[in-house]
């Protein structure tokens, strides 16, 4: 089985084994064993749901840090549009970008600008009418991974266009190599990310190489950035994106730029999973496009943000109003020269990772299915999670896979202890009277 890099990790000392995370993981990737959570790496999609749910903050996401900039001669920050929502709307986007320069980046390139390009490319692609519908947005890496792991039959529906951050990285890398006469490996390109899943995509050795050098969590640099933002910003405009691109930070922002009538916006990893199930079952007919985002409310709900998502959404609305008043003009109005970084040949192929499969050998898999069904009949069906598996069904699966035993279920354990106690009493009653006297 492939090795997986994961951004989401357990801080073991803090884990109390409370099972909050096991019950909420969308791919049933967490078990409690020996009183501590364990992530089954091949199942984890780095959605960050367990980070949000853990009451003791025992889950965290590993990202890069500002010190890593020292490895490169020239560093470019790619701020996610969600970064702008972490600051009050009185702080202009230009000031935030200057703040990033003050932190040590040599240049900034807004991911929102690339999102505008991707919107144009999506409209081109949809107008060709050749796609398997509904087309599912590939912008959210946790959703792409969910499809790989849980819904491999939907891979053909994924939009074959690079996500905005990847487009931004490719454009800026090309531009810097040409203009600054630098080798690509001398240029560090850093996504300022609201999302652990992006870190995983960048570092995942088994996927085709990303143009992004690393990802720095918004929460990791927020304090320093706040101090680095100037109170006045006389700089020429660094900020070049329009609401069309910035709006991608909020659920619905992407589809608002698409000319298709039948679109569905779904967010929150469990709702996304339910919607994809409905697509597989053929119940969502007549849809052209699905914008699916793992985090509640979209990227503004990402686990690496610092601001509450409702506050963030409110701030984005305030920014939108200001931008409409100011009529800020985008610079990108056609896919034109950018098609090579946008279209399918450039995007890593998405391979299925059907880790929920019981066995590669069909006969063994069928016998495990039978074992699961018969074990399930003996389990109580409460789905309490006290065994450390998220449900009775997953415990039955774990038993069939040799990862657990029936007595991990406390009800089965109690039954077994009671039976043993009964047997002991019966055996004690059978002891010969002479032995009784000797022992007294």
Q: Which residues bind ligand SF4 (CB under 6 A)?
A: 8, 10, 15-21, 25-27, 29-30, 32, 37, 39, 44-50, 53-54, 56, 58-59
Supply the minimum distance, in Å, between the C-beta of residue 160 and ligand SF4: 25
Q: Following DSSP, what letter does each residue of 83-110 receive, concatenated?
A: HHTTS-TTS-HHHHHHHHHHTT-SEE--
313 token code pair: 């959404």
Supply the minimum distance, in Å, between the C-beta of residue 3 and ligand SF4: 16
Q: Following DSSP, what letter does each residue of 134-160 receive, concatenated?
A: SEE----HHHHHHHHHH-GGGGGGB--
414-417 own/partner pairs: CB under 8 Å, 24+ apart: none
**R_g (Cα) of the chain, nearest Å:** 26
Supply the minimum distance, in Å, between the C-beta of residue 301 and ligand SF4: 14
Cβ pair 128, 269 in contact under 8 A: no
The candidate with the shortest Cα–Cα distance to 38, out of 4, 19, 10, is 10
Supply the minimum distance, in Å, between the C-beta of residue 44 and ligand SF4: 3
Cα distance between residue 46 and residue 9, in whole Å: 9
Supply the minimum distance, in Å, between the C-beta of residue 180 and ligand SF4: 38
Cβ pair 199, 7 in contact under 8 A: yes
Supply the minimum distance, in Å, between the C-beta of residue 339 and ligand SF4: 34
The candidate with the shortest Cα–Cα distance to 113, out of 160, 75, 167, is 167
Nearer to ligand SF4, 62 or 228 (CB): 62
Tally of CB atoms within 10 A around 235: 13
Nearer to ligand SF4, 40 or 182 (CB): 40
Cα distance between residue 173 and residue 215, in whole Å: 15
Q: Give how far the C-alpha of residue 351 lies from the chain's centroid of Cα atoms, to the nearest Å.
A: 17
Nearer to ligand SF4, 58 or 120 (CB): 58
**Signed CA dihedral, 341, 350, 189, 108: sign only:** positive
Nearer to ligand SF4, 271 or 318 (CB): 271
Nearer to ligand SF4, 16 or 320 (CB): 16
Supply the minimum distance, in Å, between the C-beta of residue 33 and ligand SF4: 11
The candidate with the shortest Cα–Cα distance to 102, out of 68, 70, 129, 77, is 77
Cβ pair 358, 366 in contact under 8 A: no
Supply the minimum distance, in Å, between the C-beta of residue 297 and ligand SF4: 17
Query: Residue 75 is inside which H or E element, if any?
Result: strand 74-79
Name the E strands within 288-409.
289-293
Query: Mapping DSSP to helix (H, G, I), strand (E, B) and coil, where does residue 74 land?
Result: strand
Supply the minimum distance, in Å, between the C-beta of residue 270 and ligand SF4: 10
Nearer to ligand SF4, 10 or 78 (CB): 10
Q: Following DSSP, what letter does each residue of 13-52 receive, concatenated?
A: GG-----HHHHH-TT--EEEETTEEEE-TTT-----HHHH
Supply the minimum distance, in Å, between the C-beta of residue 29 and ligand SF4: 4
Q: Give how far the C-alpha of residue 220 lies from the chain's centroid of Cα atoms, to the nearest Å.
A: 18
């Amino acid at each position: 089985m492939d090795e997986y890099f994961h951004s989401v990790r357990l801080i073991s000392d803090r884990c109390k084994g409370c099972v909050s995370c096991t019950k909420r993981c969308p791919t049933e990737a967490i078990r409690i064993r020996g009183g501590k959570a364990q992530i089954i790496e091949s199942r984890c999609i780095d959605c960050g749901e367990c980070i949000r749910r853990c009451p003791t903050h025992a889950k965290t996401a590993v990202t890069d840090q500002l010190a890593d900039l020292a490895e490169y001669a020239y560093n470019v920050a790619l701020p996610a549009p969600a970064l702008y929502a972490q600051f009050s709307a009185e702080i202009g986007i230009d000031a935030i970008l200057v703040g990033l320069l003050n932190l040590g980046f040599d240049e900034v390139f807004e991911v929102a600008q690339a999102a505008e390009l991707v919107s144009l490319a999506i409209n081109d692609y949809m107008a060709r009418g050749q796609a398997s519908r509904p087309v599912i947005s590939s912008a959210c890496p946790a959703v792409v991974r969910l499809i790989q792991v849980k819904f491999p039959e939907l891979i053909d529906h994924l939009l074959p266009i690079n996500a905005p951050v990847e487009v931004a990285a490719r454009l800026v890398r090309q531009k810097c190599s040409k203009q600054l006469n630098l080798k690509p490996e001398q240029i560090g390109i850093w996504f300022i990310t609201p999302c652990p899943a992006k870190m995983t995509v960048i570092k995942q050795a088994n996927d085709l190489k990303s143009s992004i050098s690393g990802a720095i969590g918004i929460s990791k640099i927020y304090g320093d950035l706040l101090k680095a933002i100037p109170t006045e910003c006389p700089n020429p405009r660094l900020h070049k994106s329009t609401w069309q691109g910035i709006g991608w930070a909020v659920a619905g922002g992407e589809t608002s730029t698409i000319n298709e009538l039948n679109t569905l916006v779904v967010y929150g990893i469990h709702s996304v999973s339910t919607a994809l199930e409905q697509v597989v079952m053929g119940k969502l007919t007549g849809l052209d496009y699905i914008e699916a985002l793992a985090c509640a409310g979209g990227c503004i709900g990402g686990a690496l943000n610092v601001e509450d998502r409702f506050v963030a959404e409110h701030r984005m609305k305030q920014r939108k109003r200001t931008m409409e008043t100011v009529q800020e003009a985008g610079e990108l109005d056609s896919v034109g020269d950018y098609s090579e970084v946008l279209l399918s040949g450039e995007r890593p192929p998405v391979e299925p990772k059907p880790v929920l499969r019981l066995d590669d050998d069909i006969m063994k898999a069928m016998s495990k299915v039978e074992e699961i069904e018969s074990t399930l009949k003996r389990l109580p069906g409460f789905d309490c999670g006290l065994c450390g598996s998220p449900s009775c069904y997953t415990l039955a699966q774990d038993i069939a896979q040799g990862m657990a035993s029936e007595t991990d279920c406390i009800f089965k354990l109690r039954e077994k202890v009671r039976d043993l106690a009964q047997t002991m009493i019966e055996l004690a009653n059978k002891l010969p009277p002479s032995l009784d006297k000797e022992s007294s």
